Amino acid sequence: MELGQEIELLGVHAEGEIGRVITSGAPDIPGDTMVAKMNYINDVDDSLMRVCLYEPRGASQMTINLLTQPCRKGADIGFFPMQADGAHAMSGSNTICVTTALLESGIVEPKGPETLVKLDTPAGLIEATAQWNGKKVERVQIDMPVSFVEHLDHPLEVPGLGVINVDVAFGGCYFALVRAEELGYNIQPDEARDLVELGAKINAAAQEQISVQHPEIPSFNRVEYPMFVAGRGTSIRNATIIFPGRIDRSPCGTGTAARLAVMLERGEISLNDEVSSRSIIDGEFIAKIKDETTCGDRKAIRPTVSGRGWIYGRHTLGVHPTDPFPLGYTLSDCWGAEKPR
């Protein structure tokens, strides 16, 4: 079997959301920082992403996580997630997948029942604490990036809906939070297609009408995801719409962090509350606010999110010299009409 450069991956999911982890065979990615490495994938050479994520070797409903040498001192390893529209700064579900893969594969040696793994990401140094039973990572708690509210009740004109109000917050990336119940939805499995189609319209409107700028990281300057939200108090539901048109199978860690910032700002929760955050398939993350802080001139929080991950397989990818699709392909039946960047 002739596959050229072989890439080894572990298949992992966090509460149902697939986040495969490249464990060997990836090329070195240029850059002195994780942001630079992420931007290299997005702006210079996305061939690794295409080989691993596009058909026939990949699929639209997954993420590929790239492990790298860390750029920050004190980090165990660097990583960033690659999705259909490019590399991203941070993902809670994928941090759970990566931490589970690192410890259960032995890439990082467990150091007892609670093992701290320090991950260098474009969103900053992320600390993940794994509960280790000697064979399996039972749960991973993540200290999420400092999170804050950018806009409350921002008016958004959406074709077919008219003007709706959305909250905009940062939890590792920027989200437009849409109150699903006000639009007649409860975030249930039979609503998935409707939510995806509506989310695409909302996201297009948000890209045009909402301005954001992280006070400390210049490259974080756009709303990346719309997220439908439901529930109240310490029991909530989320449905993040991910390019090219699917719902996050997990409750979305970064989205949950952003939502905690909004809920605290609105007085819907207190600093001591433990929040159950559930997805459209009822996967659960447990979220808390460690404390309040600032980010630039903004009021902010330090949230934690915890959840479970499972390794489900091993994969070896490669490209035969005669393969007519060395960088893969996309079709609009699964990938939507809009081309990935």
Residue range 48-66, pLDDT digits in tens: 999 999 999 999 889 999 9
* Contact present, 279 and 16 (Cβ < 8 Å): yes
Half-sphere exposure of residue 200: CA atoms within 13 angstroms, side-chain side: 13
Task: Tell me the pLDDT band of 334, cut-offs 50, 70 and 90.
Answer: confident
User: Catalytic residue among 52, 252, 277, 306, which?
Assistant: 252
108 lies in the same domain as 16:
yes
- Burial (CB < 10 A; 0-12, 13-18, 19+), residue 236, is buried
Q: Are residues 129 and 199 in the same domain?
A: no
Domain for residue 213, yes or no?
A: yes
Residue 284 is part of a domain; what is its CATH number? 3.10.310.10
CA distance 60 to 115: 32
pLDDT at 27 over 90: yes
pLDDT at 276 over 70: yes
25: helix, strand or coil: coil
Instruction: Kindly state the average pLDDT of the residues 207-219.
Output: 93
In this model, does residue 38 exceed pLDDT 90? yes
**Residues 150-207: tens digit of each pLDDT:** 999 999 999 999 999 999 999 999 999 999 999 999 999 999 999 999 999 999 999 9
Would you say residue 339 has pLDDT above 90?
no
pLDDT above 70 coverage of the chain, percent: 97
In angstroms, what CA-CA distances link 160 with 80, 181, 201, 209, 250? Answer: 36, 17, 9, 16, 28
252 included as an active-site residue: yes
Residues 128 and 209: their CA atoms lie apart, in Å, by 35
How much is the pTM? 0.93
Q: How confident is the model at residue 243 (pLDDT cuts 50, 70, 90)?
A: confident
Q: Which pLDDT belongs to residue 333?
A: 83
Q: 267 and 164: one domain?
A: yes
User: Is residue 157 domain-shared with residue 282, that is, in the same domain?
Assistant: yes
Distances (CA, A) of 193 to 180, 190, 260: 14, 8, 26
Shared domain check, 89 and 224: no
Model confidence band, residue 125 (pLDDT cutoffs 50, 70, 90): very high
Q: Which of 63, 64, 72, 65 is nearest to 31 (CA)?
A: 72
- Whether residues 87 and 215 fall in one domain: no
Identify the burial level of 76 via C-beta atoms within 10 angstroms of its C-beta, where 0-12 means exposed, 13-18 middle and 19 or more buried. middle
Query: How many Å apart are CA 3 and CA 317, to the nearest integer?
Result: 8
In contact, 247 and 192? CB cutoff 8 Å: yes
The domain containing residue 226 runs over which residues?
148-306
- C-alpha distances (whole Å) from 219 to each of 88, 89, 214, 301, 337 are 11, 10, 8, 21, 27
Cis before 56 (ω within 30) = yes
Do 118 and 211 fall within a single domain?
A: no
181 DSSP 8-state letter: G
Residue 341 resides in a domain: no
Verify that 265 and 319 share a domain, yes or no.
Answer: no
Residue ranges of E strands in 69-113: 77-83, 86-87
Q: Provide mean pLDDT across the span 79-94.
A: 93
Q: Are residues 295 and 191 in the same domain?
A: yes
Which residues are paired to 157 by β-bridges?
163
> Does some domain include residue 20?
yes
Q: How far apart are CA 158 and CA 325, in angstroms?
A: 38
Residue 287 pLDDT level (bands cut at 50, 70, 90) = very high
* 35 and 162 part of one domain: no
Residue at 1 is within a domain = no
Residue 2 has pLDDT above 80, yes or no: no
Instruction: Let me know whether 134 and 164 are in one domain.
Output: no
Structural domain includes residue 52: yes
Q: Which of these is catalytic: 60, 91, 277, 279?
A: 91
The answer for 310, left when phi > 0, alpha when psi is -120 to 50, beta otherwise, is beta
- Phi/psi for 62 (5° steps) reads -155, 170
User: In angstroms, how far is the first alpha carbon of the chain from the final one?
Assistant: 32
**Considering the domain boundaries, does residue 28 fall inside one?**
yes
Over the chain, what is the mean pLDDT?
A: 94
Instruction: Provide the pLDDT for residue 127.
Output: 97
User: Are 156 and 286 found together in one domain?
Assistant: yes
pLDDT in tens, 7-21: 999 999 999 999 999
Question: Does the pLDDT value for residue 340 go beyond 80?
Answer: no
| Per-residue pLDDT tens over the stretch 104-117 | 999 999 999 999 99
In a domain, 2, yes or no: no
Q: 63 in a domain, yes or no? A: yes
Domain tally, the chain: 2
The whole-number pLDDT of residue 332 equals 85
